[in-house]
Amino acid sequence: MKVAVIGTGYVGLTTAVSLAMKGHEVLGIDVDAAKIELLSNGRSPIYEPGLDQVLLEMLGQSKIRFSTKLLEAKEAQVVFVCVGTPEAADGEADLSYLHAALQDIASLHEHSPVERIVVIKSTVPVGTGDWAADSLRRCNQLHVVSNPEFLREGCALEDALNPSRIIVGADSEEAVAVMQTLYSGLSAPWVITTRANAELIKYASNAYLAARISFMNELARLSTVLGTDVTVVSHGMGLDSRIGPQFLRAGIGYGGSCFPKDTIALLKLANQHGVTLGLLEKVREVNASQPVWFIEQLAQKIPDLSGKRIAVLGLAFKPDTDDIREAPALRILAALQAAGAVVSAYDPIAAKAVAALFPDAEYVTAPEAAFVGAHAAVLVTEWQECVKLDWKLIKEQMERPLLFDGRNAWPCDELKKAGFEYQGVGRS
């Protein structure tokens, strides 16, 4: 099929490349001319494992191309909308990019009025798809579908090719049939429903996963007081088939582009309709305070951080991505610098972006270098190179062998036996 994808950010580019891999002819559209030139030369503007290589392959096979003009997609049978819906100043989703995309689609349809499916993959408030359908009703043979994405940064391409489920919100059998043809060959459960249900499934999924994380972080705080080990507790919980092991890891809070933005957007939506989501409000409260609580644990060991050298390992919000949006590392760096600490930081991908926000920190090119002369080290993002280290060398390099494991990823027992002072999140 001939497909156009509006927006070549994280979701749009992954969607475009994965559809090209399935044999479709894909045109990626973006208003950023510099980004389009970069993509046309086979270079991805985002870091995602495996994406650069596949992008080059699809360009070489002429399965994908890029442009700033949607009018080049006159023959497109399906147009995906994958534009950003960032958090506005009031917490609601900013739909200005979506509105602009719909206007462009209407112009395209006027020039080429063929039967076409508009697929909204952007995360949007409930009711947006129905509103879009009404606004495009003047365009005959144009169907609007809600098809939310469930991509995990760091393994997005794998998720696009092997989705956990395919959610399609539509009001016509023709649109559903086109989506089934588009995604033929993918082995995943289908949920065919209304556009509003599809939109709420996306928000509810992210809100629930965020709730699991915050629940475990509260248990970690309790474990710190009780002397129990939250990693053992979470393992025991996860063996219950009704609970499962996913998203039960305590740490220093969630970040990224989805959980923070989507939870506040869902809260705003509920408030507009006079509904209070008290649990979700608490989820956000716990997440906001978790990095602060973690720094307080450090301050108990080093009451005066002024002039103390602190190594910070990992800056992206999670491994295998360069995304620093809402990353816990940003709050930790701000707190450390406010206390007068000297920060030595390492991240294999995200250091340049963080350096623009915190230019006074020192950024090293190897994880071991961050430990030199450090009075304490903090693991923020569990990159493999930040976890698998030469601990004998590191102990010799540190001023004080004090470790704060914000992801419970360092070998606790081994480090204690080696003479390190070790403190995890909720570990006895």
Identify the sign of the CA torsion 61, 63, 67, 73: positive
Which DSSP state fits 30? -
- The C-alpha atoms of residue 404 and residue 340 are separated, in whole angstroms, by 18
Task: Please tell me whether 239 is known to bind a ligand.
Answer: no
- The C-alpha atoms of residue 94 and residue 177 are separated, in whole angstroms, by 31
Nearest of 346, 319, 318 to residue 333 by alpha carbon: 346
Task: Please tell me whether 255 is known to bind a ligand.
Answer: yes
Task: Please tell me whether 74 is known to bind a ligand.
Answer: no
- The C-alpha atoms of residue 329 and residue 291 are separated, in whole angstroms, by 8
Task: Please tell me whether 152 is known to bind a ligand.
Answer: yes
Task: Please tell me whether 30 is known to bind a ligand.
Answer: yes
Q: What are phi and psi of 198, to 5 degrees?
A: -60, -40
SS3 37: helix
Task: Please tell me whether 202 is known to bind a ligand.
Answer: yes
Encode 346-376: b = buried (16+ Cβ within 10 Å), e = exposed. bbbbbbebbbeebeebebbeebeebbeebbb
* 412 flagged as catalytic: no
Task: Please tell me whether 35 is known to bind a ligand.
Answer: yes
Note whether 267 and 90 are within 8 A (CB). Answer: no
- The C-alpha atoms of residue 286 and residue 351 are separated, in whole angstroms, by 27
Task: Please tell me whether 284 is known to bind a ligand.
Answer: no
Tell me the sheet residues that pair with 363: 345
Task: Please tell me whether 251 is known to bind a ligand.
Answer: yes
Task: Please tell me whether 249 is known to bind a ligand.
Answer: yes
What are the Cα distances from residue 322, in Å, to 48, 154, 258, 372, 394?
Answer: 8, 9, 15, 25, 26
- The C-alpha atoms of residue 23 and residue 351 are separated, in whole angstroms, by 36
Query: Catalytic: which of 82, 139, 258, 412?
Result: 258
Task: Please tell me whether 309 is known to bind a ligand.
Answer: no
Give the amino acid at 87: E
Enter the tokens of residue 307: 């002039």
Task: Please tell me whether 268 is known to bind a ligand.
Answer: no
Task: Please tell me whether 352 is known to bind a ligand.
Answer: no
Task: Please tell me whether 15 is known to bind a ligand.
Answer: no
Enter the tokens of residue 84: 């950003």
Give the amino acid at 228: T
Task: Please tell me whether 373 is known to bind a ligand.
Answer: no
Numbered residues of the known binding site: 30, 35, 85, 123, 150-153, 202, 247-251, 255, 261, 318, 325
Catalytic positions: 258
Numbered residues of the known binding site for substrate: 150-153, 202, 247-251, 255, 318
Numbered residues of the known binding site for NAD(+): 30, 35, 85, 123, 153, 261, 325
